[in-house]
Amino acid sequence: MTDQAAPPADPTGTRLRRAVTGPLLFLFILGDVLGAGVYALAGRVAAEVGGAIWVPLLVALLLALLTAASYAELATKYPRAGGSAVYAERAFRQPLVAFLVGFCMLAAGVTSAAGLALAFAGDYLGVFLDVPATPAALVFLLLVALLNARGIRESLRANLVMTLVEVSGLVLVVVLGALVLGRGDGDLGRTVEFTPGVAPASAVLAAALLAYYSFVGFETSANLAEEVRDVRRVYPRALFGALLTAGVVYVLVGLAASVVLPPEELAASTGPLLEVVRAADAGVPDRLFSAVALVAVANGALLTMIMASRMAYGMAGQRLLPGVLGRVLPNRRTPWVAIAVTTLVAMALTLVGDLSTLANTVVLLLLFVFLSTNTAVLVLRRDRAEAEHFRAPTVLPVLGTASCLLLLWQQEAQVWGLAALLLLAGVVLYVVTRLAGRRASAAGGARRG
Say what the pLDDT of residue 388 is: 75
Contact 405, 209 (CB under 8 A): no
What total of structural domains would you count in the chain? 1
Flag whether 179 is in a domain: yes
Q: For the chain, how far is it from start to end, CA to CA, in angstroms?
A: 35
| CATH number for position 41 | 1.20.1740.10
pLDDT less than 50: residues of the chain: 1-13
Flag whether 275 is in a domain: yes
Flag whether 419 is in a domain: yes
Flag whether 445 is in a domain: no
Flag whether 10 is in a domain: no
Domain hosting residue 27, numbered range? 22-436
Say what the pLDDT of residue 6 is: 41
Report the alpha-carbon distance of residue 57 to residue 13 in Å, rounded. 41
Report the alpha-carbon distance of residue 224 to residue 274 in Å, rounded. 33
Sequence-ordered alpha helix ranges (H) in 281-412 = 286-317, 336-350, 355-379, 395-409
Give pLDDT tens digits for 270-300.
778 888 998 998 888 888 988 888 888 887 7
Say what the pLDDT of residue 156 is: 65
Contact 72, 390 (CB under 8 A): yes
Flag whether 48 is in a domain: yes
Flag whether 166 is in a domain: yes
Flag whether 127 is in a domain: yes
Long-range contacts of 406-410 (CB under 8 A, 24+ apart): 406/205, 407/63, 407/208, 407/209, 407/212, 407/363, 407/367, 408/364, 408/367, 408/368, 408/371, 410/205, 410/206, 410/209
Q: What is the pTM of this model?
A: 0.80
